[in-house]
Amino acid sequence: TAIAEKLLYCCTPYLNETSQENVRNFKYQGGDKSLSYKYFFSPVCDWLVTFFPSWLAPNLITLTATILFTFIPHVVFAVYSWDCSAPIPAWVCYYAGISYFLYQILDNCDGKQARRTG
């Protein structure tokens, strides 16, 4: 009977019927009410996206930003301190901070480009 109970437990849905229906009908309504987005990031990205060609896929913007501004700083950190035991030069920390800032901007431009190109 213990095996039968385990099999029954494995086949039991995690959500009841009402919850499953709620998941099916869920509509995401995102929004950002932060001051930095409203007064800095959004206007800067609105301006920057005007320089992108209309054929440029929005996901390519995020992919490029991810490689240039998140992956490479991690590699630089690893070069200077693979196991996080050696001191890291200050310029590496500044480079990483600037890189993550640029990543945020380009990631925001992704959405602006998607709405611009339809």
Q: Cα(first)–Cα(last) distance of the chain, in Å?
A: 57
- Using the structure block, give the residue that is written with the tokens 């998607």: 114
Return averaged pLDDT per consecutive 10 residues of the chain, 118 residues in all.
66 76 85 87 94 93 94 93 90 95 94 88
Exposure string of 51-85, with b = 16+ CB inside 10 Å and e = fewer, is ebeeeeebeebbeebeeebeeebeebbeeeeeeee
Q: Which pLDDT score, from 0 to 100, does residue 1 have?
A: 60
Q: Which pLDDT score, from 0 to 100, does residue 12 have?
A: 63
Using alpha carbons, list the distances in angstroms from residue 48 to 1, 42, 86, 107.
65, 10, 38, 12
Q: Which pLDDT score, from 0 to 100, does residue 7 have?
A: 63
Q: Which pLDDT score, from 0 to 100, does residue 64 have?
A: 94
